[in-house]
Structure 1
Amino acid sequence: MHAVTILKPLIARNRSWALQQRQRNPHYFRKHVAGQQPQALWIGCSDSRVPAEVLTGAHPGELFVHRNIANMVLEDDDSLMSVLQYALEYLQVSAIVLCGHYGCGGVQAAVALPAMSLAQEDSALARRMAHLRHSLEHNLLDYQQAEGNDAARLNRLIDAHVVTQFTHLISSEPVRRRWEQGKVLDVFGCVYDLQEGHLKELVHQNAAEVGHELQHSA
């Protein structure tokens, strides 16, 4: 019975939303049937408070979306890497937005991991948190010694986490291949502020910059 009470309101809101869209534009849904041509790939956190389309005001067809715990970029993550390859090679997106958020529970769990029972588990979540803890390691000392309240210290750690995952992203084989082919691709690292509802850009890399680096490394 509980599952029904959850699903029924979702279906009702869906019907209301669909009706509103058709009233504004009778062809709203028809134009999406033939296929998709999103401009950007969004890699974000699975946190229910950070829905990509809602916080950006995007319409169906504008964003190709992948979300996972703590918006991590791991080259052995077949789910993420297949999404990345598909977005770049088949959908030909011209931008990638990697987005973390303040108050990230994944980052908080990674910080506390040694004291958690999760650290003793052999599970997918435990392995994920161990990867995250390892990626944060070089920033943890600064976090522990930093002044300020806990929320501000955590936010600075989350900024550093986004930059680290951004580095993994621009070093990944699909992204490097795209740039080496001379194709346009802008990659952004952003953070979302839950309290303000605002996105903030932390870091950006584009094809021209990478092309310049490749020439100098050749």
Structure 2
Amino acid sequence: MIVTTLKPLLAKNRSWALQRRQRNPDYFEKYLHQQKPHSLWIGCSDSRVPAEVLTGSHPGELFVHRNIANMVVEDDDNLLSVLQYAIFYLGVNRIVLSGHYGCGGVQAALNLPESPLADEDSALARRIAALRHALQQGLAEFHASTEDETGKLNRLVEANVIAQFSRLVASEPVRQAWQSGQELDVFGCVYDLQSGHLKELIQQSAEEPLP
């Protein structure tokens, strides 16, 4: 038996599908037998930041991976398998890693020492602890900053994008693609919930020598 709360979602789905077919009878046929996305999107799981909606993308255009605070963790098989599949099997030529202002994960990492999560042994607690560790430099700059609270939090979100971007371009699938001569552009962006705008912070198109 269908749970009552699912009915509105099913109704909206039927309405959406009908509208798409009315505008283009072949809308669902285009990607029925294969997908050819041009980009991999790595973003935050926050419900206010749906990749396809904010980029105006249609089904088949984005391959998407989302997790709390858009983290790139070297031993995360889920993320690494998505990277490998997107780059080598789907042949995407662009990866967009996007954070967003007002990120709850970044806020949780900032507040971790005083949070109940600090005393938990749970998947969420481990994730936030790993995030806080990745943000050590950003946290130092946060506490030294004279900006207002909103500005400081925005800079911390940007610091997280930069930190995760550094891990992304150092990951094995990305380095392997560049070493083989595959065209692959990697972008680090931040989404502004207030304006709806996506802003580029950093970009890299080839492997760079280690310092």
Class of the TM-score when normalised by the shorter of the 2 chains? over 0.9
Shift in Å, 1:151: 1.1
Q: Return the alpha-carbon distance in structure 1 between the equivalents of residues 176 and 155 of structure 2.
A: 32
Distance in 1, Cα, partners of 2:14 & 2:100: 31
**Which residue in 2 is equivalent to 1:186?**
185
1:16-61 CA-to-partner distances (Å, cap 9, x unmatched) read: 1100100111111012111101000000000000000000000000
Give the 3-state SS of the residue equivalent to 1:128 in structure 2. helix
SS state at 1:30 partner: coil
Q: Deviations over 1:113-140 (max 9, x none)?
A: 0111111111100100010000001221
| Structure number having the greater helix percentage | 1
- Structure 1: distance between partners of 2:5 and 2:181: 48
Do structure 1's residue 41 and structure 2's residue 43 form an aligned pair? no
Cα distance in 1 for residues equivalent to 2:3 and 2:49: 25
Partner of 1:100: 99
Q: Alpha-carbon deviation of 1:144?
A: 1.1
Match of 1:117 in 2: 116
Residue of structure 1 equivalent to 2:69: 70
How many correspondences in the alignment? Answer: 210
2:198 corresponds to which letter in structure 1?
L
| Residue 139 of structure 2 is aligned to residue 151 of structure 1 | no
Instruction: Show the counterpart of 1:177.
Output: 176
Structure 1 residues 152 and 5: alpha-carbon distance in aligned structure 2, compared to 1, 3 A threshold: farther
User: What percentage of aligned pairs have identical amino acids?
Assistant: 66
Q: CA RMSD in A?
A: 1.3
Q: Secondary structure at the match of 1:140?
A: helix
- Give the TM-score, by structure 2 length: 0.97
Q: Which runs of 5+ in 2 are unaligned?
A: none
Q: Which residue of 1 aligns with 2:83?
A: 84
In 2, the alpha carbon distance for the partners of 1:21 and 1:50 equals 23
CA distance in 2 between partners of 1:148 and 1:135 (Å): 22
Deviation of the 1:142 alpha carbon: 1.1
Cross-structure match for 2:8: 9
Alignment of 1:161 onto 2:164: no
Q: 1:7: Cα distance to partner?
A: 0.9
Q: Which runs of 4+ in 1 moved over 6 A?
A: none
TM-score (structure 1 length as normaliser)? 0.93
- Partner of 1:202 in structure 2? 201
- The whole-number CA distance in structure 2 between the counterparts of 1:180 and 1:142 is 35
Distance 1:46 1:30 in 2: 29
